[in-house]
A and B are shown apart, each in its own frame.
Chain A
Amino acid sequence: MNWLLPLYPARWRVRYGEEFGAVLASQHASVGLVLDVLAGAVDAHLYPQIQNSQSKPIKGDDTMTLEMLQRCAVGGPKLSPQDRRIASLFMLVSALVMATLYIVLTKIYRAAPAVQALFYATFPALTLIYGQTAYLRKRPWLTQVFILGAGLLGMYLFMLAACVVGNKL
């Protein structure tokens, strides 16, 4: 059952992984157990408690692993709650704009490939918008516009090509 452990965040595994694995190994495999572990993993991602943790016993052999993990984490994303809120808001507004655009274009052009492509590109585009808004927020706005614009354009053109080819088959 320890194959479920990688579903937990890295910092959580550093802190609780070993003892969690020991408890997990002592339980009989069942659907209920898998669901419990999955729910625990979702919770650990949504509500990480580790940074608030006051004390953590560090054994001598833990120190090197911990230091390596901290070094690896330096270049990783560090999203503040404000970053997440702004990105979510941006994604919500974008979803409304894209939905409105789709309705208007469908009314005018019916099921043209360009409109179909917009429909199929909406979901991945929103994911891209959220990610880029959150991670690039502290970069110059021109960089943000360029990276986001290029990503969205590339995605739309790919979907458009797929729709054109799909309609011809």
Chain B
Amino acid sequence: MMRKTKDDAELDDFGRFSEPALLILVSLAEGPRHGYSMTEDIETLAGVRLGPGTLYGALARLEARGLIEPLKSEDRRNPYRLTALGERALRTRLDSMMAVARTGQRRLAHA
């Protein structure tokens, strides 16, 4: 069993919003985006289109935990960006996913 670090645990407890939250963080890793732009980007990178209910359920959780923050905007579309904590949590989660993927590939190669 892989050991979880404190940063990795930041993304726990998201329930059904775990995967959307991770996709949002990946989308914001490139720079600030607003909701519609995130939906488009996530569809391109992962092939799933997040509905607004799911998108904002995940955004609210990420914001409440300080992993992302809103930027001031003059129009209706509020952009968000990753915080330092969010960046660390994303890095840690991606590292642990890569470790699992590498182990899986290695085991499949020997199967």
Contact = CB atoms under 8 A, between A and B. Distances in A.
A57 B71 contact: yes
Interface stretch (A37-45, A87-95, A116-124): A37-45
Contacts, number: 81
A40 B59 CA distance: 12
A56 interface: yes
A33 B51 contact: yes
Interface string B72-88: 11101110000000000
Interface in B23-65: 34-36, 39, 51-57, 59-61, 63-65
Contacts of B69: 54-55
A20 B71 contact: no
Q: Is the interface of A mostly helix, strand, loop or mixed?
A: helix
Contacts of A152: none
B96 to A, nearest CB: 25
A92 to B, nearest CB: 25
B52 A40 contact: yes
B55 A57 contact: no
Given A52-B64, A57-B73, A23 B52 contact: yes
A57 B72 CA distance: 6
Nearest to A41: B53
Q: How large is the interface on B (under 10, 10 to 19, 20 to 34, 35 or more residues)?
A: 20 to 34
Contacts of B39: 23, 26
Contact of A21 (B70, B71, B74, B76): B76
Contact of B70 (A12, A36, A40, A57): A57
B51 A57 contact: no
Contact of B53 (A18, A37, A52): A37
A23 B77 CA distance: 8
Closest 9 CB pairs of A and B: A40-B53, A36-B51, A49-B60, A52-B64, A49-B64, A36-B53, A23-B35, A22-B76, A37-B53
Interface of B: 34-36, 39, 51-57, 59-61, 63-66, 69-74, 76-78
Given A19-B76, A23-B56, A49-B64, 19 more contacts: A19-B35, A19-B77, A20-B35, A22-B35, A22-B36, A22-B76, A32-B51, A36-B53, A37-B53, A40-B51, A44-B57, A49-B61, A50-B60, A50-B64, A53-B63, A54-B63, A56-B70, A57-B78, A59-B72
